[in-house]
Structure 1
Amino acid sequence: MSAGWKSVSERKIADRAALLNEHPDWHLRGGAPPAGVLDVSHLPTSQLSGREREIVHQDATALVHALRERRYSAVEVATAFCRVAAGAQAVCNCLTEVFFAEALQRAAELDAHLAETGCVVGPLHGLPVSIKDHILVRGQDTAAGYTAWAYRTRASRDAVAVDILRRAGAVLYVKTANPQTLLSLETNNNIYGRTLNPFNRNLTPGGSSGGESALISVHGSPLGVGTDIGGSIRIPAGYMGLYGLKGSVARMPHAGLLGSHDGMDAILGALGPIATSARDLALFCRTMLQYEPWRVEPALLELPWRQDIVDGAGIPDRLAVAIMWDDGCVAPHPPILDALKAARDALVAAGHDVVDWAPLDHQEAWELIRKLYFLDGGEEYRATLADDPPVPQTEWILGQVPNGGAPFSVAEIFRLNVAREALRARVLHHWNATAARTASGRPVDAVLSPWDPRTYDNASVSLQLIGRRLNEERVLGMLHKVEAALRASRA
């Protein structure tokens, strides 16, 4: 293995620094604090004006309304978020590609359009949106955490979701860090190093969309785009106290992502939002489907967004919610269990029907999925890493490659696919069987589960709400009821 990866890293870091240095007035006064200062979450917004602070503390839904009403200009909104993003990079190393100049130019064009026509370009007119690194953004590098791909993957086109964002009026300004291989619950690679949790820099913001969660958590982005197979949106959102949605496969546009597992369809991922409010998740999904992405991405289902369901249509006043206290493999620590108990008590007090969910075959599911992840024996990952030493998380996941590192035969892949569908059927039966235990006699509407089995100083404690496939609107509608119950319990 050559040491060429080090020179690639040095060059990429220098390029990023040069772009950030175009705005020296956005630098943190005194620079980044020493490593021993753990909570730096306040610093990225510490030098904002009162008006800028007002802007960045609003959620995306409020901002697009304010922009439409011309209470803020697109330029001042973009400037505020660019300033915070620069500060966030200084304290937690969350950015990869920086294109502030392009963003400010686009914001000025949007302001001119609104002034001349009285109309917004689209539903996200003037809203800054950050993008995970392995998602194609025209004109930007797509190294995706691999030194081997740096400077070789400049995108000539946008991902389908990014194209929709542009047409909807979003202002793109940064791409954010993801880990080497993407198969990690942390965010670390040999190009930029480790992304840190700004609330406790001894901790991670999660992965693989950890650059997004770190940036959004300090108000450096009102809305971010991530991806998720096994938790890569949900884990970062949970770690940073944010909202994230992993939708169903084939619901949201997914074409235009770069990763080592391109072409692998045994286990598919989903693109989705990370935000500071539940309503922003709906805003993102509604915008994506408003532009009918199934007309350009044939793998997608033609299923328009149903906002009336998000707003409560067809959702029973009394929910049936199952709580999974553990997964049968790992017991959550007391703060996580306390959060589950508080949620249970709040739901019961609000009149909802709460039952326990017995974990089903989680260890078997892991044994199956690690085979489906590496049907080629991990060969594509190893080839990409030939001149890029694996970071610790990569070493661990590649150590999970089954079958002695040999690829599975076609016949073996067929059998694995049969086993996958059998497991899915058992889980569905397990869900439907809850009808025997609910007061309404219907299966549970959702499952409430813990996410991370660990907790640390100044870290978030978050819960996950799980619904049926292709019921994103229903999950968000039920989330409103769960949140209402929790608010009432604190009153």
Structure 2
Amino acid sequence: MTVDSHSTCVVLKNSADSAAISQMNWKEISERKTKQRQALLDRWPEWKLKQAVVDYVTDVSALPTSQLTPREIEIVHQDATSLVHSMRDRRYTALEVIKAFCHVATIAQGLTNCLTEIMFEDGLKRAAELDRHLEKTGEVVGPLHGLPVSVKDHILVKNYDTSTGYIAWAFNSATKDAVAVDILRKAGAVLYVKTANPQTLLSLETNNNIFGRTCNPFNRTLTSGGSSGGESALIAVHGSPMGIGTDIGGSIRIPAAHMGLYGLKGSVARMPHAGLVGSHDGMDAIIGALGPIATSGRDLSLFCRVMLQYEPWLVEPQLLEIPWKQHVVDGEGIPEKLSIAILWDDGVVGPHPPILDALKRTKDALLAAGHEVIPWIPVDHQNAWDIITKLYFLDGGAEYREILKDDPAVPQSNWILSQVPNNGRPFTVAEIFQLNLARDTFRCKIAAHWNDTRLKTTTGRHVDAILCPVAPTLAPPHDTTQWWGYTSYWNLLDFPAAVFPVGRFKAQGYTPLDISAEYTIPVHARNAVEHSVRAQWDPVIYDNAPVSLQLVGRRLNEEKVLAILRMVEDAFDTSRMVII
């Protein structure tokens, strides 16, 4: 096993008793890992939930903070930007901040199964060091001084396991940090937990045979999303103010959307990416992106600004040397009157009614604020899925099948492996050349399509961004995710995209908005996937699920996307948390 193609060396070491572990079956490995995790949590019994919660209680979102003091509640409800300012001003110590988040994380784990590696002891020690430094020098260590940050499991953290959801990779600790983790440490962040990701990573739900399934705290019958589903579940209940996720088909945006959070997938080579463990190391026909999940839009900018402040391109040559342009995020060069295109339906799987409602409400708010809104005509979304699945599986799925030979495939792994093209055969070199050409041709086609929007706007400019669903459903029941097209499409194009919350769905008394003037819903399902997704729609199933949307920009325009996001939120004040 190696780290990804953007790293420079193998940085994992086997456990000292690897010979004994190699003789274990998958159930024994799972039992050992989960017992280790629990033993570490048991060191702080005062952070455990004092009451038992029966399985049929679905909404557990308020319980993780239910035992906090008023001061602790104040701490964990602040976003990352507020917290770093408060610690710099000595309103809070780093130690009391990390204790509050460890307390919430402990309870969150018991309710949602969101954690993998417990690093509380190291976190408490580091926080105390930071407090002493500030007391002695009067200066913070860096721009994230004292900020607790959670880390997705497959991202290397020195001295901690990086099992990545695979039984075969359990008990392999990292000998160095990922580039992003190294920057977090230099910036003064406090690392205290790693969070769950699914078997294969190539999944929009979070479930594996080591730790099991991660649930949605707003409705535990629904998924937390994936592959950064541990991050989203933890952050949603205030167990972390900011976390690191990764995204090659929706794995930051889907979990953020399913939890009512903010998430950013940038273009490839903007954010540091070295030091991730996963399948298909060395494959660069389609590459994932590392990015933040947080509780505010400004925290997305904070993360990116800090990452690039430390010039990661000097240690990761694959990165583009493009410093963060905060002045653009703050609005410089952004037109006062935006032109936004709305994608109502991708032409393959139409969205469920609450998502269409959210698009309608956001459109109305943008128009009321003086912005221009036009339709975005969908282009070849099924073809895009066909291309990207070929790029995911250039080896015909061989590596996944090999790693899973002693690790039974969980349902979503079975589903994605059912999408393997070419009858499971590897593509030849000549075929890979043609696939790369098809990818680049598709990108040129959509760039021209975007350019042509200038013919439809009143300003004569092409649209500034695209507003669209994140998925055709709200967080769905476990093991039922089956259409990635609203997120993977933008991965294929390498466009940056930010997810943001617009409300919470309530089933009682729900009546869909009339959107007939905006979009005509097809009478009949256009394909088997859409038929299945339509059959899923029942308001009761999705009760209490967050409702989110996605804002997409042109390649390498992450700052502009975040600037436009702020303007969209000014038009549609999400602090009201409108009940959809």
Q: State the 1:405 CA deviation.
A: 1.3
* Structure 2 residue 160 is matched with structure 1 residue 160: no
Number of the residue aligned with 1:88: 108
Number of the residue aligned with 1:193: 212
Number of the residue aligned with 2:120: 100
Aligned residues: 489
Q: Secondary structure at the match of 2:441?
A: helix
Report if aligned partners of 1:346, 1:489 keep a CA contact under 8 Å in 2: no
Query: Residues of 1 paired with 2:236 and 2:551: CA distance?
Result: 20
Number of the residue aligned with 1:257: 276
Query: Residues of 1 paired with 2:435 and 2:391: CA distance?
Result: 7
Q: State the 1:404 CA deviation.
A: 1.6
Number of the residue aligned with 2:35: 14
Query: Residues of 2 paired with 1:439 and 1:347: CA distance?
Result: 15
Q: State the 1:458 CA deviation.
A: 0.5
Aligned CA distance change for structure 1 residues 70 and 488 (closer, same or farther; 3 Å) = closer
Q: Secondary structure at the match of 1:245?
A: strand
What one-letter code is carried by the residue in structure 2 that aligns with 1:134? H
State the TM-score, normalized to the length of structure 2: 0.83
Number of the residue aligned with 1:145: 165
Number of the residue aligned with 2:312: 293
User: Once the two structures are superposed, what CA deviation does each residue of 1:8-30 show, in whole Å capped at 9, x if it has no partner?
Assistant: 00000000000000001111002
Number of the residue aligned with 1:59: 79
Number of the residue aligned with 1:123: 143
Number of the residue aligned with 1:30: 51
Q: State the 1:93 CA deviation.
A: 0.2
Number of the residue aligned with 2:416: 397
Q: Describe how 1:65-464 pairs up with structure 2 within 5 A.
A: 65-151=85-171, 153-455=172-474, 456-464=542-550
> Structure 2 unaligned runs (5+)?
1-22, 475-541
Q: State the 1:452 CA deviation.
A: 2.3
Query: Residues of 2 paired with 1:92 and 1:488: CA distance?
Result: 26
Report if aligned partners of 1:185, 1:207 keep a CA contact under 8 Å in 2: yes
Q: Secondary structure at the match of 1:180?
A: coil
What one-letter code is carried by the residue in structure 2 that aligns with 1:467? G
Query: Residues of 1 paired with 2:33 and 2:84: CA distance?
Result: 33
Q: State the 1:453 CA deviation.
A: 1.6
Report if aligned partners of 1:322, 1:446 keep a CA contact under 8 Å in 2: yes
User: Once the two structures are superposed, what CA deviation does each residue of 1:157-207 show, in whole Å capped at 9, x if it has no partner?
Assistant: 000000000000000000000000011111000001100000100001100
Number of the residue aligned with 2:478: none
Q: Secondary structure at the match of 1:462?
A: strand
User: Once the two structures are superposed, what CA deviation does each residue of 1:415-455 show, in whole Å capped at 9, x if it has no partner?
Assistant: 01000000011111111110000010011000000122224
Q: Describe how 1:34-45 pairs up with structure 2 within 5 A.
A: 34-45=54-65
Q: State the 1:487 CA deviation.
A: 2.3
Report if aligned partners of 1:164, 1:288 keep a CA contact under 8 Å in 2: yes
Q: Secondary structure at the match of 1:435?
A: helix
Match of 1:479 among 562, 565, 573: 565
Q: State the 1:386 CA deviation.
A: 1.1
Q: Secondary structure at the match of 2:412?
A: helix
Q: Secondary structure at the match of 2:73?
A: helix
Q: State the 1:248 CA deviation.
A: 0.8
Q: What is the root-mean-square deviation in Å for CA atoms of aligned residues?
A: 1.3
Query: Residues of 1 paired with 2:441 and 2:165: CA distance?
Result: 35
Aligned CA distance change for structure 1 residues 3 and 34 (closer, same or farther; 3 Å) = farther
Runs of 4+ off more than 3 Å: 488-491
User: Once the two structures are superposed, what CA deviation does each residue of 1:266-322 show, in whole Å capped at 9, x if it has no partner?
Assistant: 001100000000000000000000000000000000000010000000000000100
Query: Residues of 2 paired with 1:250 and 1:106: CA distance?
Result: 30
Q: State the 1:262 CA deviation.
A: 1.3
> Structure 1 unaligned runs (5+)?
none
Q: Secondary structure at the match of 2:402?
A: helix
User: Once the two structures are superposed, what CA deviation does each residue of 1:234-281 show, in whole Å capped at 9, x if it has no partner?
Assistant: 000001000000011000000000001211100011000000000000
Aligned CA distance change for structure 1 residues 30 and 102 (closer, same or farther; 3 Å) = same
* Structure 2 residue 485 is matched with structure 1 residue 465: no
Q: State the 1:126 CA deviation.
A: 0.2
Query: Residues of 2 paired with 1:109 and 1:394: CA distance?
Result: 43
Q: State the 1:3 CA deviation.
A: 7.2
User: Once the two structures are superposed, what CA deviation does each residue of 1:312-344 show, in whole Å capped at 9, x if it has no partner?
Assistant: 000000001000001100111111111000011
Report if aligned partners of 1:177, 1:195 keep a CA contact under 8 Å in 2: yes
